[in-house]
C-alpha cells in the first residue's frame, strides 16, 4: 500500500498516524519527503523493498512486544510514504511514476487547497480507471475546515472523480491531527491484507488465461508408445536394406558343400523408409493434439536421413570370411578315407582278401564327412545369427537416435504440460516405459 499526494497534503503525517510512529519526515520545508519511506508489519519485507528501491535507512518494522497482538491483523502489510507527485525535483516524480503500477493499493491524499490539482487528475487519476477497486481517496486536513465545509468539499471531490471516470472509488474525510476516520482507514487496510494482493490476483488471472489457452493442446490420456513399435520399425528397415536376405544366404551358403557367393545388402528405398517412418509416427502419436504431433514429426529424422543412416549401419556389419580350415580339412580327409575304403574294399573282395580293414577305413571316412557337414551347418547358423544380431543392434540404434529419442523428448514435455495443467490422465495404453 502506498500513500501518494502533493506537497502540503499531509501524507507523511498520515503515515506516522497510521503506523503510530514518528518515522516519516514532517516539516514546513517543501517537499519534505525526498525519498520513499516504508513501514512493514510481520514478515521481513527487505526483498520487496529492495525491488521497490526503498533505501535501507528509510525502512522500519512495526513490531513491539507491547502491541504485537494489536498489530496482528496488519501482518504482511507494507506501507509506503512516497515523494510528492508535484515536486519540482524530477527524481521525486520519477519515483512516483515507478511506484504507481507496482502498488497493490493506491491511497491518494488530497487537501482542501489542492484537491483539484490538474497534475493529479490529468497526470494520474484519469488513467487509473481500471484500478478503482484498488484505490482510496483520503481528504486530509478536514480539521482546518469551518462547520459544514467538509460536506461541500467531499461533494466537489466526488464530482471531480466522476469527471475522471472514477465512479466507484471510496472517498474518506480524515485528519492526521485529530485522528478523524483513521480507524476506518485502518480497517480498510486490515480487510485488504486479508485478501489477495493486486499482484497475486493479476498473476492468478494471467495463469488462468494461460491454462485456458494451453489446455486444448494437451491430451487427456497418457501417451506412452509401445516398445514393440520401435522393434517393428527396425525390422522394416532391415528388410528394406536386404539384410534379411544376406542373413539367409549366410545360413545356406556356408552350409553348402561347394562355396557360393553371399548376398550383399543394398541401400534401402526412400519410399519404403518413408512408409516405415509414417507408420511409426501414426502409432507413436496416436491421441496427441495436432500441435504436439507436428512437434514430434519435426523432431525426428527425415526419410532421407533415416535411409542413409540405415544403409551405413547395415554396411558396417562385416560378412563372414572363409570357412574354418579345420572343418574343411576334416571334410576332405573324410572324403579321401571314404574313397580309399571303397577302392581298397573292392580290390580285397575281388582278390579274395579280408575286407575288415577297408571297411573300418570307409566307416571312419563316413564319420569324418558327417561330422564336417554337421560342423559346417552349425557354423553357418552361428555366423548367420551373429550377422543378424549385429544388424538388428545397429539398425535399432539408428531408430533410437533418429526416431525414439527425439520423440521421447517431445512426449516428455507433453507429460510435463499435462502435470502442470493438472490433467488426470487415463491409464497408459502402452505395456511399459518408452
How confident is residue 32, by pLDDT bands cut at 50, 70 and 90? Answer: low
Mean pLDDT of 240-251: 83
Nearest Cα to Cα of residue 264 among 248, 277, 286, 279: 248
Nearest-angstrom CA–CA distance, 357 and 337 = 12
For 161, half-sphere exposure in the C-beta direction (CA atoms, 13 angstrom radius) is 23
Nearest-angstrom CA–CA distance, 374 and 101 = 90
pLDDT for the residue numbered 297: 93
pLDDT for the residue numbered 164: 94
pLDDT at 433 over 70: no
List, for residues 375-387, the tens digit of each pLDDT value: 888 788 888 888 8
How confident is residue 70, by pLDDT bands cut at 50, 70 and 90? Answer: low
How confident is residue 431, by pLDDT bands cut at 50, 70 and 90? Answer: very low
Choose between 248 and 366: higher pLDDT. Answer: 366
Grid coordinates belonging to 218: 494437451
pLDDT at 72 over 90: no
pLDDT at 248 over 90: no
CA 157 to chain centre: 51
Q: Mean pLDDT, the chain, as a whole number?
A: 84
List, for residues 97-153, the tens digit of each pLDDT value: 989 998 889 999 999 999 999 999 999 999 999 899 889 999 999 999 998 889 999
**pTM (2 decimals)?**
0.49
How confident is residue 197, by pLDDT bands cut at 50, 70 and 90? Answer: low
CB atoms within 10 A of CB 373: 17
How confident is residue 322, by pLDDT bands cut at 50, 70 and 90? Answer: low
How confident is residue 57, by pLDDT bands cut at 50, 70 and 90? Answer: confident
Among 57-66, 78-87, 117-126, 182-191, name the one with the lowest average pLDDT: 57-66
User: Per residue in 152-182, is it b (16+ CB within 10 Å) or e — as a string?
Assistant: ebbeebbebbeebebeebebbbbbbeeebbb
pLDDT at 180 over 70: yes
pLDDT at 244 over 50: yes
pLDDT at 260 over 70: no
List, for residues 286-306, the tens digit of each pLDDT value: 888 999 999 999 999 999 999
What are the structural domain ranges in the chain? 2-195, 220-420
List, for residues 396-411, the tens digit of each pLDDT value: 999 999 999 999 999 9
Choose between 320 and 208: higher pLDDT. Answer: 208
Nearest Cα to Cα of residue 81 among 51, 144, 38, 124: 38
Among 154-158, 260-264, 350-354, name the one with the lowest average pLDDT: 260-264
Nearest-angstrom CA–CA distance, 341 and 117 = 131
Mean pLDDT of 360-383: 84
Q: What φ, ψ does residue 136 adopt, rounded to 5°?
A: -145, 130
Percent residues over pLDDT 90 in the chain:
36
Q: Measured between alpha carbons, how far is residue 247 from residues 160, 215, 262, 381 in Å?
A: 93, 50, 9, 9
CATH architecture of 2-195: 3-Layer(aba) Sandwich (3.40)
Amino acid at each position: 500500500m502506498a500513500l501518494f499526494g502533493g506537497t502540503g497534503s499531509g501524507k507523511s503525517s498520515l503515515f506516522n498516524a497510521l503506523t503510530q510512529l514518528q518515522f516519516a519526515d514532517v516539516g514546513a520545508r517543501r517537499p519534505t519527503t525526498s525519498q520513499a519511506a516504508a513501514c512493514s508489519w510481520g514478515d521481513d519485507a527487505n526483498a520487496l523493498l529492495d525491488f521497490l528501491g526503498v533505501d535501507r535507512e528509510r525502512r522500519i518494522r512495526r513490531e513491539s512486544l507491547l502491541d504485537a497482538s494489536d498489530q496482528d491483523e496488519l501482518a504482511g502489510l507494507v506501507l509506503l510514504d512516497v515523494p510528492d507527485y508535484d515536486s519540482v525535483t524530477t527524481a521525486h516524480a520519477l519515483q512516483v511514476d515507478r511506484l504507481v503500477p507496482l502498488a497493490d493499493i493506491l491511497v491518494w491524499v488530497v487537501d482542501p487547497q489542492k484537491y483539484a490539482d490538474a497534475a493529479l487528475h490529468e497526470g494520474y487519476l484519469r488513467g487509473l480507471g481500471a484500478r478503482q477497486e484498488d484505490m482510496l481517496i483520503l481528504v486530509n486536513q478536514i480539521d482546518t475546515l469551518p462547520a459544514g465545509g467538509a460536506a461541500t468539499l467531499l461533494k466537489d471531490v466526488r464530482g471531480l472523480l466522476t469527471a475522471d471516470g472514477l465512479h466507484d472509488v471510496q472517498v474518506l474525510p480524515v485528519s492526521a491531527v485529530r485522528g478523524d476516520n483513521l480507524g476506518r482507514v485502518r480497517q480498510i487496510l486490515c480487510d485488504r491484507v486479508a485478501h489477495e494482493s493486486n499482484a497475486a490476483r493479476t498473476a492468478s488471472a494471467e495463469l488462468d488465461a494461460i491454462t485456458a489457452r494451453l489446455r486444448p493442446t494437451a491430451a487427456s490420456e497418457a501417451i506412452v508408445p509401445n516398445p514393440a513399435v520401435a522393434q517393428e520399425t527396425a525390422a522394416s528397415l532391415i528388410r528394406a536394406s536386404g539384410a534379411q536376405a544376406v542373413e539367409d544366404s549366410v545360413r545356406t551358403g556356408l552350409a553348402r558343400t561347394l562355396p557360393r557367393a553371399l548376398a550383399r545388402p543394398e541401400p534401402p528405398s526412400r519410399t519404403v523408409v518413408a512408409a516405415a517412418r509414417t507408420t511409426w509416427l501414426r502409432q507413436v502419436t496416436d491421441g496427441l493434439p495436432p500441435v504436439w504431433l507436428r512437434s514430434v514429426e519435426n523432431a525426428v529424422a527425415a526419410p532421407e536421413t533415416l535411409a542413409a543412416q540405415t544403409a551405413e549401419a547395415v554396411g558396417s556389419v562385416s560378412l563372414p570370411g572363409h570357412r574354418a580350415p579345420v572343418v574343411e580339412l576334416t571334410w576332405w580327409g573324410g572324403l579321401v578315407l571314404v574313397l580309399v575304403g571303397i577302392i581298397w574294399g573292392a580290390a580285397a573282395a575281388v582278390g579274395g582278401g579280408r575286407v575288415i580293414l577297408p571297411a573300418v577305413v570307409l566307416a571312419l571316412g563316413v564319420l569324418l564327412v558327417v561330422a564336417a557337414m554337421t560342423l559346417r551347418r552349425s557354423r553357418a547358423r552361428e555366423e548367420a545369427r551373429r550377422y543378424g544380431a549385429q544388424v538388428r543392434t545397429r539398425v535399432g540404434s539408428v531408430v533410437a537416435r533418429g526416431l525414439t529419442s527425439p520423440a521421447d523428448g517431445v512426449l516428455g514435455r507433453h507429460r510435463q504440460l499435462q502435470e502442470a495443467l493438472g490433467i488426470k490422465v487415463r491409464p497408459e495404453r502402452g505395456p511399459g516405459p518408452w
